[in-house]
Amino acid sequence: MAEATCRRELELEIPAEDVSKATEKVAKEIARVARVPGFRPGKAPLALIKRRFSDDIKGEVLQSLVPEKVEQAVAEQKLSPVSQPQVDKLDFNEGQPLKFRAVFEVLPEFELGKYKGLDIEMPAMEVNDEEVNKALEETRERAATFVPVEGRAVENDDFVQLKLVGTPEDGSEPIQADSVLCHVGAEETMEPFNENLRGANVGDHKTFDVEYPADYPDAKLGGKKFHYAADVTGVKTKKLPELNDDFAKDVSDATTLDELKRKIRESLEHQRDHRQKDLQRERVIGELVKLHDFPVPDSLVEHQKDVRLERVVRSLAQQGVDPRSVNLDWASLRQRQEERAKEDVKAELIIDRIASTEQIDVTDEEVDHELEHLGSHSGESAEAIRARLTKQGALDRMKAKLRSDKTLDWLAQNANVRPAAAAAGS
């Protein structure tokens, strides 16, 4: 039966004789260099030095004796601390043994439960014609051109070119744009823009107010009311290119429309394979965590909460959002990661144990392949990435991740995979 906690406490004692020896040694070293009024350097009596520098001597003695004693006790009891031992309950008096308590966490003891033949459910993730056509339409949308409209007023689905000044009601910084395109009647366009621009003509000047909801995607606008002054400088309509072989040549290295469709299907299948692999690993982890019950060290859980928070920050930054401008209660968000962080740590410990039991390891070729893969994205050479990761101490982390992924894939291959109900589709 696993213990309910990974916390360990050791009550330790260093013999009075060792403490006295260390005190004498430190006092002599200080006496050699100390400047004491009335005495030449190195000539002050040891008793005076001990009194005058008692706190310094005490600190030095603790530094030299305590860590060594903790290390020795940990080795004797065959413990593996995962957190820095904290020392408290210090009892330090001259001529007496030095007593203290060392508190730290260790990796949990646990038996490996079932891990071969796990039961996991996976949704069907087929790439169908509808998805291919949708991706083709998106490519067509991106290749669209904007053609000026003349001789009529603005209608739904037109793109109105505006010179715009927006003044916020709260007196914060106004926004200005000399040429902005507004898609009239579109779902993402705020209603006052649609109402005021429909029926307008080039040269018209419009003023209106817009109240943005608190959850508006642009943090600068969310929850604010703006007064807009807008000059209509142009009206355009979107012209989609025809779906033919010329279109395929314009937007890709394909020479025919059929070849472009085939390439789109391959790309979607490649994305599907990635999603499938990620989901499969996720399901395997969920099943492993469910089948094993043991405590995990708080220090590792705290670290994992930070890792999860960093991911949120990175994801916001990748979307071009400054994490500092987001109105989030970061402390509460971090606290809400507790359960997931525990599961992450537990999964890591189980997977590591399975990898050792099944002798799953990462080969040099696999490491080289991963470095080349990273290089193909960043434009660096594999050697440069290896040097950078080694310097940052991150190469071992990368190898550990590869080993973990390899173990998860092995577990998935050895699992009983059954199709999920259609409702759980991709």
Q: What is the CATH number of the domain that holds 209?
A: 3.10.50.40
Say which CATH number the domain at 419 has. Answer: 1.10.3120.10
User: Does residue 413 carry a pLDDT above 70?
Assistant: yes
Report the distance separating Cα 395 and Cα 235, nearest Å. Answer: 55
How many angstroms from the chain centroid is the CA of residue 15? 48
Question: In this model, does residue 40 exceed pLDDT 70?
Answer: no
87: left (phi over 0), alpha (psi -120 to 50) or beta: beta
Confidence of residue 156 (pLDDT cuts 50, 70, 90): very high
Contact 279, 419 (CB under 8 A): no
Indicate whether 239 pLDDT > 80. Answer: yes
- The DSSP element (H or E) to which 229 belongs, if any, is strand 225-239
pLDDT greater than 90 at residue 346: yes
**Rounded to 5°, angle at Cα 66 from 62 and 67:** 120
Q: How confident is the model at residue 426 (pLDDT cuts 50, 70, 90)?
A: very low
* 62, 83 Cβ separation under 8 angstroms: no
Same domain, 168 and 90: no
Q: Whole-angstrom Cα distance, residue 8 to residue 18?
A: 25
pLDDT of residue 386: 87
285 shares a domain with 226:
no
| Contact in structure between 167 and 213 (CB atoms under 8 Å) | no
User: How far apart (Å, rounded) are the C-alpha atoms in residues 351 and 403?
Assistant: 9
Q: Quick one: 174 and 269 in the same domain?
A: no
| Strand-pair partners of 148 | 236
Reduced to 3 states (helix: H, G, I; strand: E, B; else coil), residue 215 is: coil
Residue at 138 is within a domain: no
The confidence score (pLDDT) of residue 2 equals 40
Q: What is the pLDDT of residue 138?
A: 94
Quick check: 379 pLDDT over 60? yes
Q: What is the pLDDT of residue 42?
A: 65
- The pTM (predicted TM-score) of the whole model is 0.67
Distance CA(226)–CA(207), nearest Å, equals 11
Mean pLDDT of 34-53: 69
Name 285's Cβ contacts closer than 8 Å, sequence gap at least 6: 343, 347, 351, 408
Can you give the pLDDT at residue 124?
84
pLDDT at 422 over 60: no
pLDDT classification of 423: cutoffs 50, 70, 90 = very low
In a domain, 139, yes or no: no
β partners of residue 114: none
**99 and 171 share one domain:** no
Q: Do 281 and 405 meet the contact criterion of CB atoms below 8 Å apart?
A: yes
Q: How far apart are CA 405 and CA 281, in angstroms?
A: 8
pLDDT, tens digit (0-9, with 9 covering 90-100), for 117-137: 899 888 888 899 999 999 999
* Domain contains 113: no
Q: Mean pLDDT, to the nearest integer, of 91-113?
A: 86
pLDDT at 46: 66
Mean pLDDT in residue range 103-123:
89
pLDDT band at 56 (very low <50, low <70, confident <90, very high): confident
SS3 264: helix
User: Residue 150: which domain range?
Assistant: 145-239
Q: At what angle do helices 298-318 and 338-357 cross, to 10 degrees?
A: 110
Q: Tell me how many domains the chain contains.
A: 3
Q: From CA 301, how far away is CA 7, in angstroms rounded? A: 13
pLDDT at position 4 is: 66
- Assess whether pLDDT exceeds 60 at residue 424: no
Nearest to 31, CA basis, from 16, 52, 61: 52
Is the pLDDT assigned to residue 57 strictly greater than 90?
A: no
Number of neighbours of residue 230 by Cβ within 10 angstroms: 23
Distance between CA 183 and CA 197 in Å, rounded? 10
The CATH number covering residue 70 comes to: 3.30.70.1050
Q: Is the pLDDT of residue 347 over 90?
A: yes
> How sure is the predictor about 166, in pLDDT bands with cuts at 50, 70 and 90?
very high
In this predicted model, which residue has the larger pLDDT, 78 or 134?
A: 134
Q: Does the residue 44 lie in any domain? A: yes
Separation CA 6–CA 107 (nearest Å): 7
42 in any annotated domain: yes
In a domain? residue 263: yes
Distance CA(99)–CA(110), nearest Å, equals: 32
Which of the pair, 109 or 183, is modelled with greater confidence? 183
- List the one residue out of 347, 350, 358 whose CA is nearest residue 286: 347
What is the 3-state secondary structure of 325-394? HCCCCHHHHHHHCHHHHHHHHHHHHHHHHHHHHCCCCCCHHHHHHHHHHHHHHHCCCHHHHHHHHHHCCC
Residues 2/108, Cβ–Cβ less than 8 Å: yes
When mean pLDDT is compared across 278-282, 322-326, 420-424, the lowest value belongs to 420-424
DSSP state of 308: H
Quote the mean pLDDT of the chain: 87
Question: What pLDDT score was predicted for residue 43?
Answer: 65
356 shares a domain with 420: yes
